[in-house]
Amino acid sequence: MRLRIPRPYESIATQSEPVVSSKAKVIAFANQKGGVAKTTTTLNLAAAFAEEGHRVLCVDMDPQGNLTMSQGIDPDTLDRSMFDVLVHDMSIREVIRKREIDVACASIDLAGAEIAMSTKIGRERSLEKAFRAIEEDYDFICIDTPPSLGLLTINALTAAHKVIVPVQCEYLSMRGLIQLQNTLSMIRENLNPDVDIEGILPTLVDSRTIHAKEAIEILEENFGDRVFASRIKKTVRFAEAPVRGMSVLKYDPDGMAAQSYRELAKEVLGNGKR
Ligand SMILES: Nc1ncnc2c1ncn2[C@@H]1O[C@H](COP(=O)(O)OP(=O)(O)O)[C@@H](O)[C@H]1O
Ligand SMILES: [Mg+2]
């Protein structure tokens, strides 16, 4: 095991001690490919942080509203959502629902936000600006993003300190990572100089197949220790939990699925294997 120099937030965030820092650490979950477990990872890592005693907000930036739905909230019934926050500068507090985790909700109208914001001055910074009012209320803000690198994702990457990239362990899924890295470089140059990848997370791992093993090897060859030591294996629990409006940590607390996100939380909090 190699030595790691703790990053500033790690020195104050241990498993038993909640973060003392007054401002939330903002993590965006991004990958322009759909179906790679962005939403699943946002919710379940957030739930694992909450289990450790941290105050956590999840922000749904995907017009599909899957994160909102997976906490048992029907996006079609919402009279206000992240659309109003981004486009009309409504306070983000107005769209937060308290469930297992606090969720700033999305609905389908968010699909029109990119066009509605396109003429707004500071359009890339709307989310960052919205967070100022609540950054002392939470230890972590976890942002779920849509499967594109458009203005909604750019807002998330501009507001974030770190990015977690869930990757489905298939060769073709990994090629998109280069494009994401290019977008991040652009964000660093123009909008958010310090944003960086916290880690790349292999998801939907089918450990029985040789292909999955090879795909992880290719990932590690190309991205080295940016790849988390945690692996998220394929299990139907991840499809079952959202139907009940729960994280897997609540739905099946003793299961392997829940455990894998607890391990990821430890890695992110600085107590993990990596
Ligand atoms: N580890 C896993 N094993 C099995 N199914 C999973 C796993 N992670 C996510 N899923 C399922 O895969 C689908 C896509 O996941 P999701 O988190 O919605 O991806 P994204 O947000 O990247 O589009 C969902 O139906 C989800 O329940
Ligand atoms: Mg999603």
pLDDT in tens, 71-112: 999 999 999 999 999 999 999 999 999 999 999 999 999 999
Structure confidence at residue 149 (pLDDT): 95
Domains in the chain, ordered, with CATH?
A: 20-269 (3.40.50.300)
Q: Which of 29, 33, 40 to probe ligand 1 with, by most ligand atoms within 8 A of CB?
A: 40
| Calpha distance 165→250 (Å, rounded) | 24
Q: Is the CB of 148 under 6 A from ligand 1?
A: no
Least confident span in 4-18, 33-47, 200-214: 4-18
* Contact (CB, 8 A) for 261 and 249: yes
Contacts 24+ apart (CB under 8 A), 131-135: 131/24, 131/26, 131/92, 131/159, 133/91, 133/92, 133/93, 134/24, 134/57, 134/92, 134/93, 134/96, 135/23, 135/24, 135/26
Instruction: Give the DSSP H/E element, type plus range, for residue 96.
Output: strand 96-98
Query: Which residue(s) pair with 196 in the sheet?
Result: 162
Residue nearest to atom 6 of ligand 1 (CA): 238
- Tokens of residue 253, six digits: 């607390």
Q: Is the CB of 256 under 6 A from ligand 1?
A: no
| Calpha distance 235→85 (Å, rounded) | 35
Confirm whether pTM is higher than 0.85.
Answer: yes
Structure confidence at residue 18 (pLDDT): 53
Atom of ligand 1 nearest to the CA of 66: 18
Structure confidence at residue 271 (pLDDT): 64
- Tokens of residue 185, six digits: 């470089």
